[in-house]
Structure 1
């Protein structure tokens, strides 16, 4: 095949080039509703997109397309600074400017398709090294669907406006609102949940880069004062474990046909683990905080104590 150039309407060539055996790895910044027709991925493939709040609200990336890929068994990840459009198969690399959307199909886009082994390897390496990524799962899709419905014109990094995306910072700066909360309805992700070493299941192997962030959900029976940007540190109902900090990324969302129940979406660091509450209390006492009230729900008013609590996870 060699190396070929395709433009200004390259999608027919891209779709044909990636219909190969073996896993495909795609980093396509923006995917529209019609993306599955343009990039026919299957189980075992990896897709990295820009599904940031800005991209979702601007309808540049479609939650429906992401849900379609998840249902097909594709591993989907989101990076808020992704602007590349590259695909690597076992034999070919596609490098160009084309997003997977109907807008791209009508725009003057161009790509290079090559079977040069060095370029194929470099493309795969680029995809594997993309950082600041969040695993896209059903909770992520639910939150994205909510943001899509809000839909308003917002800047998209690398498309309109200068690149500045607060999603790259896990914690708000400064973290002025912190809540310690016991919540039976909060289910931490496996990365944040304590699992005794002897009962830990085998490590799940997945292609593509490791996810740095995870989205989770919190359901409460009635509205509260919790708001977007709050840091919540959950404690298990039995006061045995303290879970890593989470950041509220949505306002309260009313749950239909559930009385006054509301839902919040939370962002967590996938690499942080829970701690023994007793051990955490001792560490804080050694730092000069003997009365942390971690066994009762409350807002943490002391800036020094907020810093010490985040320090339990070196944040």
Structure 2
């Protein structure tokens, strides 16, 4: 392989280069919520990241990404002074400017990828030499989620060049959306326990009312729904259309349910449901008379996805 340079969009090359056997060590300054797709780490790997209070509050490092890696068995450490972006596998080293975030995929970043054994050893030694490290565990994650909720997306030079306000709970772009009819059901004790555990991480004892809320979605049959999808729910009697919800978890099997799975959804508490017939008329006026809101379906049309989000000025 030798040594190669990749820019201005290096992430496909990084992702491909680190898919190797053996433990990977990474020191990446900041993680966006889509970091797991860009930086596919597994149990036994080591990840050092800047998950300081300032980075979390600025929405530069995502607690959702931290949680994903911890649940995967990755050892995650936080360094409040980290700004480097380097990775070492058994056979390759990656050195460059790219954070694991959507902002990086939109910016002009660059990396060098090499199989030089001296460089690989130097990168590992650099990561091992980092100090002021804090283990990212359940307690750390609870605190990080609280800091994220009371913080806001603010521009950090070289980190958050693209700042979204009001729509920061949505993936960008919204490329996968479903319309589903809401069905009331009584959660099992197991579902209630899991949901309560997840919600407890969102609670604070003081301060303003939470802008976001975690809800659950149970599906009794296999589905193509995945983390990051947007779901617009319609009431069963077609009276109301509800604001978009974002899938924020992988499917979790529900014991003794015959194959049913549970997802967690994140919703904006300040967005109201809208009268169904009025929403249909608005969509028709925008050129979507056949919006198919009365049936469950995958929304393939980008313009219809945009129009649906526009019902709530998103």
**Secondary structure in 2 matching 1:27:** strand
Q: Indicate if the aligned counterparts of 1:54 and 1:156 stay in contact, CA closer than 8 A.
A: no
Answer yes or no: is 1:138 the counterpart of 2:138.
yes
Quote the offset at 1:94 in angstroms.
0.1
**Secondary structure in 1 matching 2:130:** coil
Distance in 2 (alpha carbons) for counterparts of 1:64 and 1:153: 15
Quote the offset at 1:254 in angstroms.
1.9
Distance in 1 (alpha carbons) for counterparts of 2:96 and 2:155: 22
Quote the offset at 1:151 in angstroms.
1.2
Q: TM-score, normalised by structure 1?
A: 0.50
Quote the offset at 1:157 in angstroms.
8.9
Distance in 1 (alpha carbons) for counterparts of 2:150 and 2:86: 30
Partner of 2:29: 29
Partner of 1:231: none
Distance in 1 (alpha carbons) for counterparts of 2:69 and 2:131: 21
**Residues 99-124 of structure 1 deviation map (CA, whole Å, 9 limit, x = unaligned):** 00000001000000000000000000
Q: Indicate if the aligned counterparts of 1:83 and 1:158 stay in contact, CA closer than 8 A.
A: no
CA spacing shift, 1:94–1:141, aligned 2, 3 Å: same
Partner of 1:117: 117
Partner of 2:87: 87
Distance in 2 (alpha carbons) for counterparts of 1:157 and 1:139: 29
**Residues 180-219 of structure 1 deviation map (CA, whole Å, 9 limit, x = unaligned):** xxxxxxxxxxxxxxxxxxxxxxxxxxxxxxxxxxxxxxxx
Q: Which structure 2 residues correspond to residues 1-315 of structure 1 after superposition, within 5 A?
A: 1-152=1-152, 253-254=204-205
Q: Indicate if the aligned counterparts of 1:28 and 1:83 stay in contact, CA closer than 8 A.
A: yes
**Residues 55-111 of structure 1 deviation map (CA, whole Å, 9 limit, x = unaligned):** 000100000000000010000000000000000000100000000000000100000
Q: Indicate if the aligned counterparts of 1:77 and 1:134 stay in contact, CA closer than 8 A.
A: yes
Q: When the two structures are aligned, how many residues end up with a matched partner? A: 164
Quote the offset at 1:152 in angstroms.
3.3
Q: Runs of 5+ in structure 2 lacking a partner?
A: 161-202, 207-314
RMSD, aligned CA: 2.0
Q: Indicate if the aligned counterparts of 2:29 and 2:83 stay in contact, CA closer than 8 A.
A: yes
Quote the offset at 1:155 in angstroms.
8.0
Q: Runs of 5+ in structure 1 lacking a partner?
A: 161-251, 256-315
**Secondary structure in 2 matching 1:4:** strand
CA spacing shift, 1:157–1:110, aligned 2, 3 Å: closer
**Secondary structure in 2 matching 1:254:** coil
Q: Indicate if the aligned counterparts of 1:49 and 1:79 stay in contact, CA closer than 8 A.
A: yes
